[in-house]
């Protein structure tokens, strides 16, 4: 039985629980961003931010071969400036570079909404509430969880104890869940908190 939940693509869904290791790249040397490897130290994803792309509020997730698979941008404009939420849009990319909206992420930006969970909406709409996924916990402490609208954990972030620094951490992705989507959400969290993908 196939229980995969693709958001970016079914090829990024694994039939087993997967632990992904994340290593931040120095902004000065490599332009920032981070590299994602599996437990065999094989590069699975590469995330580029402002240091490489040259534009604030834009992120690019590439597969292990360096092919772009997900483009994420922070929404701007007058309406967004007046909102109590920042909105990020994630677009899948095909081999020709065409983009298709696949998710929107909203994070609170005002003191009124602070403490509210970050919510993700999948396109086309398929949510069982007003949202499809929710992020709770502390990204700064590398202790946060991504759950679906039924409360099932799909991704769990944690520190890598042997290293004890925020430059190295891991994300455990549940079987059937889209690893590229989880890494895309992690990239947005990294940018929101002013870390390696931000200028």
Burial grade of 4 (CB within 10 A; 0-12, 13-18, 19 or more) = middle
| Upper half-sphere CA count for residue 11 (Cβ side, 13 Å) | 4
Q: What is d(CA 51, CA 59) in angstroms, rounded to the nearest whole number?
A: 10
Q: What is residue 92's DSSP assignment?
A: E
Q: Is the pLDDT of residue 197 over 80?
A: no
pLDDT given at position 116: 75
Render pLDDT for 114-124 as a digit per residue (tens, 0 to 9): 667 888 998 87
∠ CA 181-174-198, rounded to 5°: 35
Residue 1 is predicted with a pLDDT of: 38
- All structural domains of the chain: 17-192 (2.40.160.200)
Tell which phi-psi region holds residue 120, choosing left (phi > 0), alpha (psi between -120 and 50) or beta: beta
For residue 170, pLDDT over 90 is answered with yes
| Strand-pair partners of 158 | 170
Q: What is the DSSP string of 158-176?
A: EE-TTT-STTEEEEEE-TT
Q: pLDDT per residue over 13-28, tens digit each?
A: 999 999 999 988 766 5
Q: What is the mean pLDDT of residues 59-87?
A: 81
pLDDT of residue 139: 87
Exposed, middle or buried, 78 (CB in 10 Å: 0-12/13-18/19+)? exposed
Tell me which of 32-41, 71-80, 129-138, 150-159 is least confident. 71-80
Q: Given this model, what pLDDT does residue 165 score?
A: 66
- How large is the average pLDDT for residues 124-143? 83
Q: What is the pLDDT of residue 66?
A: 92
**Among 61, 76, 63, residue whose Cα is nearest residue 188:** 61
Which has the closest alpha carbon to 168: 77, 70, 12, 35? 35
């Amino acid at each position: 039985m196939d229980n995969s939940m693709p958001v970016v693509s079914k090829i990024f869904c694994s039939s087993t629980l997967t632990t992904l290791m994340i290593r931040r790249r120095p902004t000065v040397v490599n332009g920032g961003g981070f590299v994602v490897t599996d437990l065999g130290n094989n590069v699975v994803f590469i995330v580029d931010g402002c240091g490489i792309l040259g534009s604030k509020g834009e992120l690019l997730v590439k597969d292990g071969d360096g092919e772009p698979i997900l483009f994420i941008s922070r929404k701007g404009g007058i309406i967004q400036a007046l909102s109590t939420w920042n909105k990020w849009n994630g677009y899948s990319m095909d081999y020709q570079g065409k983009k298709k909206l696949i998710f929107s992420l909203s994070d609170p930006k005002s003191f009124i909404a602070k403490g509210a969970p970050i919510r993700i909406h999948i396109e086309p709409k398929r949510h069982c509430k007003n949202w499809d996924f929710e992020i709770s916990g502390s990204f700064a402490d590398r202790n946060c969880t991504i759950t679906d609208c039924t409360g099932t954990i799909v991704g769990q972030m944690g520190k890598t104890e042997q290293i004890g620094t925020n430059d190295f951490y891991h994300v455990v992705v549940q079987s059937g869940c889209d690893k590229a989507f989880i890494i895309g959400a992690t990239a947005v969290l990294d940018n929101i908190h002013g870390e390696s993908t931000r200028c």
